[in-house]
Amino acid sequence: MAFTLYNAPQSTCSQRVRYLLHAKGLAFAEHRLDLFRGDQLKPDYLAINPNGVVPALVHDGRTVIDSAVIMEYLEDILPDVAPSRPAEPHEAARMRAMIRFIDEIPTPAIRVPSYNLAFLPHFRSMSEEEFQALADSKPLRREFLLKMGRTGFPKEEMDEALGRLRRAVLRMADWLEENGGPWLMGESLTQADIAVMPVIVRMADINLDTAWDDRPGIGRWLERIRASAPFAATYYHGSLLTEKYPHLAAQRAGTARDETRRSA
């Protein structure tokens, strides 16, 4: 079986697919797209994924798009290799409902602080005409970009996104408690864990990890997934925003120094 993954290092949706590919021990060719250069909007990639977003997986010449669909597809073709979906139908349905919540609430919410805190300088450097043309070229993200504009999302948008992320943290904490941990559905890691992983990793990376200060189970879950075998291969250098944007790394370092002083 030949696999080719078209993705971007910092893309949260790409990260979940990379993790599952590594978890199943699959060798794959990786095409890293530069989203700011518009690689995802070039004709050769649009022929693969007309939505102009990442990731896209090509398996033996046939394309599968959308990260949640790709994860289901990998489980369908390799159900006995590092299983990530419960075999019992009701449990599988429960996992899918968890992923539906993850894809409806925290996955889109994390884009707002990510854009405001990391990507905004890039958009500010563009003219209004360039920014409009960029937004118009994005089939799935046009309205999102126009709402942000070149000045960033307003406070009310940020507050709403942070509120949605907090709701997701509380729901995760409930799942961990109800199912006994250490994973969201109990003893076995599932696609629900993989689906929410990039959101929690991103939150920690951009100084939003105070959202689970009163839910220590989330911190333990994060430590466990960071220690899992596929994590390092998934999050190679350049996958975290602080590794790509120096101003974010400086903010992170400043926060760490402040916390050290307070605890001294």
Which domain CATH number covers 100?
Answer: 1.20.1050.10
Last residue of a domain, one of 16, 46, 77: 77
Are 148 and 217 within one domain? Answer: yes
Give 137-140 contacts, CB < 8 A, sequence gap 24+: 137/38, 137/41, 137/52, 138/41, 138/52, 139/50, 139/51, 139/52, 139/53, 140/51, 140/52, 140/53
Q: How far apart are CA 81 and CA 22, in angstroms?
A: 11
Residue 84 is assigned to a structural domain of this protein: no
Residue 13 is assigned to a structural domain of this protein: yes
Are 169 and 39 within one domain? Answer: no
Q: Give the per-residue pLDDT at 257.
A: 54
Residue 166 is assigned to a structural domain of this protein: yes
Are 192 and 236 within one domain? Answer: yes
Are 56 and 97 within one domain? Answer: no
Nearest to 83 by CA among 226, 190, 193: 190
Are 26 and 99 within one domain? Answer: no
Q: Helix count (H) and strand count (E) of the chain?
A: 15, 4
Q: How far apart are CA 152 and CA 145, in angstroms?
A: 9
Q: Give the per-residue pLDDT at 135.
A: 81
pLDDT tens for the chain, 264 residues long, are: 799 999 999 999 999 999 999 999 999 999 999 988 889 989 999 999 999 999 999 999 999 999 999 999 999 999 999 999 999 999 999 999 999 999 999 999 999 999 898 878 878 888 888 888 878 887 777 887 887 888 788 899 999 999 999 999 999 999 999 999 999 999 999 999 999 999 999 999 999 999 999 999 999 999 999 999 999 999 999 999 999 887 787 877 766 555 545 545
Q: Give the per-residue pLDDT at 260.
A: 46
- Residues 112, 153: contact at Cβ < 8 Å? yes
Q: How far apart are CA 185 and CA 86, in angstroms?
A: 9
Q: Give the per-residue pLDDT at 259.
A: 55
Are 129 and 240 within one domain? Answer: yes
The CATH code of the domain that includes 19 is 3.40.30.10
Residue 191 is assigned to a structural domain of this protein: yes
Last residue of a domain, one of 50, 77, 104: 77
Last residue of a domain, one of 16, 51, 77: 77
Alpha-carbon torsion angle 112, 37, 140, 115, nearest 10: 0
Residue 106 is assigned to a structural domain of this protein: yes
Q: How far apart are CA 23 and CA 119, in angstroms?
A: 30
Q: Which residues pair with 183 in a beta bridge?
A: 186
Q: Give the per-residue pLDDT at 208.
A: 96
Token pair of 88 as six digits: 């019992």
Residue 35 is assigned to a structural domain of this protein: yes
In angstroms, the Cα distances linking 7 to 32, 48, 62, 237, 259 are: 5, 12, 16, 15, 35
How many domains does the chain fold into?
A: 2
Are 113 and 175 within one domain? Answer: yes
- Degrees to nearest 5, angle at CA 70 with 64 and 72: 130
**Where do we find the tokens 């994973």?**
183
Q: Which parts of the chain are beta strand (E)?
A: 3-7, 29-32, 56-59, 62-65
- Residues 25, 199: contact at Cβ < 8 Å? no
Domain of 131 in residue numbering reads as 89-263
Token pair of 209 as six digits: 């990890």
Q: How far apart are CA 94 and CA 100, in angstroms?
A: 10
